[in-house]
Amino acid sequence: MMNFTKNNVGWVVLVVVFLVLPHVFTQSFALSLMTQMGIAIIFALSYNMLLGQVGLLSFGHAVYYGLGAFFTAHLINWIAAGVIWFPITLVPIFGGLCGMFFGFIFGIVTTRRPGTPFAMISLGIAEMVAASALMFTAFFGGEAGIDTNRTAGGAMLGISYGPQIQVYYLVVAWCIVSIVGMYAITRTPLGRMANAVRDNPERAKFVGYNPTRVRWMTMTLAGFFAGLAGSLYIINYEIVTFETLGILESGRVVLMAFIGGIGHFWGPIIGAVLVTFLQSALSNYTEAWLLYFGLLFLVIIMFSPGGIAGLIAKHDPVMKAGLLKRLLPSYMIVSATGAVMLLGFISIIEMIYHVESAISGNDPMALFGVMINPSTLNPWLVILLMFAVGTALFVKATRRVGQVWDELGPDLQSKGVI
């Protein structure tokens, strides 16, 4: 009988979750959202190959994502026109190879200078490619972009990719393959040396490895998976525009990686799921969703540089020692006071947005199910008081959490978990 390790169980759970989710959330919006999450996971993990593994902060990773999507769009159109035959199921490989090619080409220039020069050069390349997309309209389609038909080539084995559920499982299949592939790369000599180059390039060079070549190879592989994600993007949406290449898309993947946690392989997966969900959910309810995104990113960077995955990993020794129950009371208080503070803050932002609106600024508004009139003084006094009291209590509660962690230190050392 096979003896599964903890990692084996994790892989099995991941596959089961992917397969079961469409049967739990059956709405069309949920299915579309989960498809977007699968694409975002591949994209975020490909970015983490640069930032998390080899230490290259890129502001232009969407270039490989977008170019993979554009080349795939033309391939699908060729399939539809009968110029070439190629199964849609394997089309993401083509997008990945396109992303790999451009990662290889641009990597020759960018990986020679790590750190800030790399970040600035990657930003320059992103702007150059995005501008080119508006200039070379024959290939990029101008502002309208390129549209496709994912059912091109007809059905094969009853699969036409017309229904969204078929697209979802296509994304899931490639998502699992990509996750396994990128995880396997971290266990190879290249993956180990990428970490060494990230931490100490001089020492890596001393033991006989060329740091520039390691960065170049890593960037080439990251380009492959980014292009693969872009290929799935065009299959899902059936249209791609120059915005897919732009700085906003590059910024979104940076948010995913940092919010999830670049120091852990699973961090970008968490960030991709969370950012995609919030982007789709918040944009339907508030005009200030970009502001909330920015504040979330700021809070993560300031108070948890390791991201959400870092917070989870921090509690691993506590759970192993069986001391988590000592943290729960203080965590519950922090959660309650934080909810009051957050409720007050969000209310202030939404009221400001409503008042600033030229159309409905003087009309009543619904705020968390309650009708209020922000043009009067009383709602502002109540909300400001709620925010002030919630903030004061939250700060006091966080100090208590710090005290509990200090008290746990000796017990964790005595149990040998730290």
Task: Single out the residue of 124, 118, 293, 298 nearest to residue 212, CA to CA.
Answer: 118
Give the residue-averaged pLDDT of 315-342: 89
3-state secondary structure 185-200: HHCCHHHHHHHHHHHC
Count Cβ atoms within 10 A of the Cβ of residue 5 and give its class: 0-12 exposed, 13-18 middle, 19 or more buried.
exposed
Give the residue-averaged pLDDT of 373-402: 91
Amino acid at 307: G
Task: Single out the residue of 225, 232, 224 nearest to residue 37, CA to CA.
Answer: 232
CA distance 247 to 22: 32
Where would I find the H helices in 111-210? Answer: 116-135, 137-140, 164-186, 189-199, 201-206
pLDDT value of position 2: 39
> What is the share, in percent, of the chain residues with pLDDT greater than 90?
52
Question: Could you tell me the fold of the domain covering 20-292?
Answer: ABC transporter involved in vitamin B12 uptake, BtuC (1.10.3470)
In sign, the C-alpha dihedral spanning 68, 146, 37, 277 is positive
Residue 165 has pLDDT above 60, yes or no: yes
CA dihedral 283, 287, 292, 294 (to 10 degrees): 100
Task: Single out the residue of 129, 120, 125, 127 nearest to residue 106, CA to CA.
Answer: 125
Q: How distant is the alpha carbon of residue 171 from its chain centre? A: 16
Residue 28 has pLDDT above 90, yes or no: no
Residue ranges of the chain assigned to CATH 1.10.3470 = 20-292
Tokens of residue 194, six digits? 């990428």
Mean pLDDT of the chain: 88
Give the residue-averaged pLDDT of 21-38: 89
51: left (phi over 0), alpha (psi -120 to 50) or beta: alpha
Count Cβ atoms within 10 A of the Cβ of residue 147 and give its class: 0-12 exposed, 13-18 middle, 19 or more buried.
middle
Check if the beta carbon of residue 186 is closer than 8 Å to that of residue 179. Answer: no
Task: Using the structure block, give the residue that is written with the tokens 């020069």.
Answer: 117
Q: Which of 58-67, 201-210, 281-290 has the highest mean pLDDT?
A: 58-67
What's the full length of the chain, in residues? 418
Give the residue-averaged pLDDT of 280-286: 79
List, for residues 101-112, the tens digit of each pLDDT value.
999 999 998 998
Count Cβ atoms within 10 A of the Cβ of residue 398 and give its class: 0-12 exposed, 13-18 middle, 19 or more buried.
middle
Residue 230 has pLDDT above 60, yes or no: yes
Bigger pLDDT: 181 vs 299: 181
Tokens of residue 230, six digits? 């872009």
Q: In sequence order, which residues have a C-beta less than 8 Å from that of residue 203 and are 6 or more positions away? A: 196
Give the residue-averaged pLDDT of 364-375: 83
Check if the beta carbon of residue 68 is closer than 8 Å to that of residue 226. Answer: yes
